[in-house]
Structure 1
Amino acid sequence: MQRSDSLVQSINLRLLEERETRLETLRHALIEGEQSGTFDYSLQSTLNELENQD
């Protein structure tokens, strides 16, 4: 039973580390987005550009 407990602990630790890595990546992306400033965006103008590409 000890081997199985150890395996469960190892798997849980790996999952926790993966989750922390994803959260850290998300935090960095959010900070980068906030620091990039505002962006003038118009859905209609984007759609018009896409239609005019042909």
Structure 2
Amino acid sequence: MRCHQLTPATDRVDAASASVLRSMTAFTSLVQAFTAGVATSHGNEARVTAA
């Protein structure tokens, strides 16, 4: 059985991947909040234009 050891380069890639994932999650949350705010301010208008 072989034991996989992480190299410094692999550690950097893993850290960068986590950072990118956090950034994408934050961006998605921001867009959802913005969309909810616009939908709330437009009320029924938002539903009519989406249909």
The verdict on a shared fold, with TM-score over 0.5 as the criterion, is yes
Runs (4+) off by over 2 Å: none
Using CA pairs under 8 Å that are at least 6 residues apart, name the structure with larger relative contact order, 1 or 2. 2
* Identical pairs, percent: 8
**How many residues are matched?**
38
Show the counterpart of 2:48: none
**Which runs of no fewer than 5 residues in structure 2 stay unpaired?**
1-5, 46-51
Larger radius of gyration: 1
Q: In the alignment, what sits opposite 1:12?
A: 17
Q: C-alpha distance in 2, partners of 1:18/1:24?
A: 10
Q: Which runs of 5+ in 1 are unaligned?
A: 39-54
